[in-house]
Amino acid sequence: MVAKLGKPSRVLVGLGAGNSLTQMQSQSIHPDIVDTYLVGVGAGAWPTWNSPDGAYITYTAQAVQAYGATPMFTFYQMAQNGGGNLSGINDATFMNNYWGQARLMYQRIAALNAPVLINLEPDFWGFVWAQAPGHDPAQMPAVVSSQAECSGLPNTAAGVGQCLVQMGRKIAPNALLGFPPSFWGTSPTAIATEMQAAGANLADFIVAQTSDRDAGCMEVASPPSECAGRTGSFYWDEANIATPNFHQSQSAISDYRAALGNGLPILWWQTPMGVPSATPGGTNQHYRDNHVDYMLRNTQEYGDSHTFAIVFSSGGTFQTSISSDGGQFARLLSQYLTQGGATLR
């Protein structure tokens, strides 16, 4: 995978949402990958963020490439009607707009004539699993085959995933596609069955996730809304004895990868950026977490389990970023690169 990206043969390190190129430059941070969200369907959605329609992709990707990084886009359109509201997938008007924007994304990426990573619809697949009859995306109706690129595909949620792959292959062969599984209350192998039906095994990589929030944000007595409503232990055990811990996370995604098939490489995405602390909690943009510290000090563990990249970013407005981490990411990335990086398996 890294050869396709034209990058060094080591585990790559990236940055995403909440970390601007200006902030990276001010700290002399040079990530291998920079991730950007594409959000919404219809009025106010990402195609309208620059003129002409879709130019946002062109301008963003060119700026990232000029900085020496590979562009990555997180395609996040299914959340338009609200998290968990899947009513749009069987609505012809909504889905015609949806597919038109997907096509535009691929057309803009094709015109770049360089490799681009795409993360296809985070959270959506978890909601499909929860709501589809028998947890089977092939049993949930959706508008798919009306699109010329996907005329032979089933009109189901499974067909949505298959169409995203097929459309991408036809329009933008330089696009490298990944699906993000959601392990919500079931086993990685069960989710692999769902994701196979959606065509995830035909993609180029797996998008893995640890947590989308700093642990401390979920530990405080009165958390901001983006961290509210969660229960359990949140700060991961670096010794990998207590639950939750890093080895458990690695094992879950390895089980998923084995069950999915095709031996796809793994990209860890939206990995939280807080700074370790023995004191639970914290304050807005300064909540404790230890993912950056552990994953950039123990990166070889990830390389040994078929990881080709780790992308760090804040998953919400009140999470830590490079502008509020006291230089942690810049320091640990520099140490990682000075040591030569983690080898790939």
The answer to whether the predicted template modeling score (pTM) of the entire model surpasses 0.85 is yes
For 46-85, b where at least 16 C-beta lie within 10 A, e where not — what string?
bbebeeeebebbeebbeebeeeebbbbbbbbbbbbeeeee
Residues in Cβ contact with 108 at an 8 Å cutoff, skipping those fewer than 6 apart? 54, 55, 57, 58
Contact indicator for 235, 219 with CB cutoff of 8 Å: yes
Query: How much of the chain, in percent, has pLDDT values that exceed 70?
Result: 100
pLDDT at 295 > cutoff 90: yes
What average pLDDT does the segment 273-284 reach? 98
End-to-end CA distance of the chain: 11
Res 44: pLDDT: 97
Res 55: pLDDT: 98
Distance separating alpha carbons of residues 111 and 108, to the nearest angstrom:
5
Please state at what angle helix 157-171 crosses helix 92-112, rounded to 10 degrees. 30
pLDDT at 140 > cutoff 90: yes
Residue 291 token pair: 């993912």
pLDDT band at residue 161 using 50, 70 and 90 as cut-offs: very high
**pLDDT tens digit sequence for 50-81:** 999 999 999 999 999 999 999 999 999 999 99
**pLDDT tens digit sequence for 183-215:** 988 999 999 999 999 999 999 999 999 999 999
Question: CB count, 10 Å around CB of 338?
Answer: 8
pLDDT at 289 > cutoff 90: yes
The domains of the chain, with CATH numbers, are: 1-30+205-345 (no CATH), 32-203 (3.20.20.40)
Res 235: pLDDT: 98
What's the length of the chain? 345
The amino acid at 58? T
Query: Quick one: how far is CA 262 from the chain centroid?
Result: 20
Res 26: pLDDT: 98
DSSP 94-114: HHHHHHHHHHHHHHHHHHH-S
What average pLDDT does the segment 90-99 reach? 98
Res 195: pLDDT: 98
pLDDT band at residue 269 using 50, 70 and 90 as cut-offs: very high
Residue with tokens 């004895």: 241
pLDDT at 181 > cutoff 90: yes
Average pLDDT in the chain: 98
Nearest CA to 104 among 157, 57, 68, 161? 57
Q: Which is higher by pLDDT, 168 or 315?
A: 168
Res 184: pLDDT: 86
What average pLDDT does the segment 245-268 reach? 98
Query: How much of the chain, in percent, has pLDDT values that exceed 90?
Result: 99
Res 83: pLDDT: 87
Q: What SS3 class is residue 120?
A: strand
Q: Diameter of the chain by CA atoms?
A: 56
Burial of 252 (0-12, 13-18, 19+ CB in 10 A): middle
Contact indicator for 259, 192 with CB cutoff of 8 Å: yes
